[in-house]
């Protein structure tokens, strides 16, 4: 199920945090810190455009505490840089973190690997292969495969319309 992308809030938060192109994980990190009832999410994005390949991406998801913390919407602070509408984007979550979890992971990463960027977060080994890359656990592989299937579907539907 593709959760609803809140385009208006995505653009507003992008402006608030001064989001940057090609920095989805940093943008999502800044956005989660600036947004109540949000979780930081990593996974893949399928876009209705060439080359129809899954893109590793980060965003936040807002929950509704009055509705058992069910996810209400996706907020993508990188949206203004994608130049696409919600009808052209599909999000496939691999993992999500609360603000508290995220801060703890980043703090530990900075201590253990000060020369490396702490984002994105891949979890613990063993890692799975997806595409030509070996990062992330089983949940990453599952999200990648779902995004890959959507990309294939989008590509095939584009060929049919020509």
Tokens representing 131 are 């595409």
The Cα–Cα gap between 1 and 131 comes to 23
Among the listed residues 117, 119, 111, 138, the one whose alpha carbon sits nearest the alpha carbon of residue 127: 138
- What pTM was computed for the model? 0.87
CA–CA distance, 70 with 156 (Å, rounded to integer) = 33
pLDDT per residue of the chain (162 residues) written in tens, 0 to 9: 458 999 999 999 999 999 999 999 999 999 999 998 899 999 999 999 999 999 999 999 997 655 555 667 999 999 999 999 999 999 999 999 999 999 998 998 888 888 888 888 876 655 555 555 656 778 888 999 999 999 999 998 876 554
């Amino acid at each position: 199920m593709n959760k609803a992308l809140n385009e208006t809030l995505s653009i507003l938060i992008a402006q608030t945090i001064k989001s940057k192109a090609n920095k989805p994980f940093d943008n999502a990190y800044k956005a989660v810190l600036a947004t109540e009832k949000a979780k930081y999410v990593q996974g893949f994005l399928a876009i209705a455009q060439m080359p129809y390949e899954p893109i590793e991406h980060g965003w936040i998801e807002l929950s509704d505490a009055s509705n058992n913390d069910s996810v209400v919407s996706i907020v993508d602070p990188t949206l203004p840089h994608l130049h696409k509408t919600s009808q052209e984007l599909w999000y496939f979550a691999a993992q999500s973190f609360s603000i508290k979890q995220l801060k703890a992971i980043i703090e530990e990463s900075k201590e253990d690997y000060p020369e490396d960027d702490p984002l994105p977060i891949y979890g613990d080994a063993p890692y799975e292969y997806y595409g030509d890359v070996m990062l992330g656990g089983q949940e990453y592989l599952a999200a990648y495969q779902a995004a890959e299937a959507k990309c294939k579907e989008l590509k095939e539907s584009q060929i049919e319309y020509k």
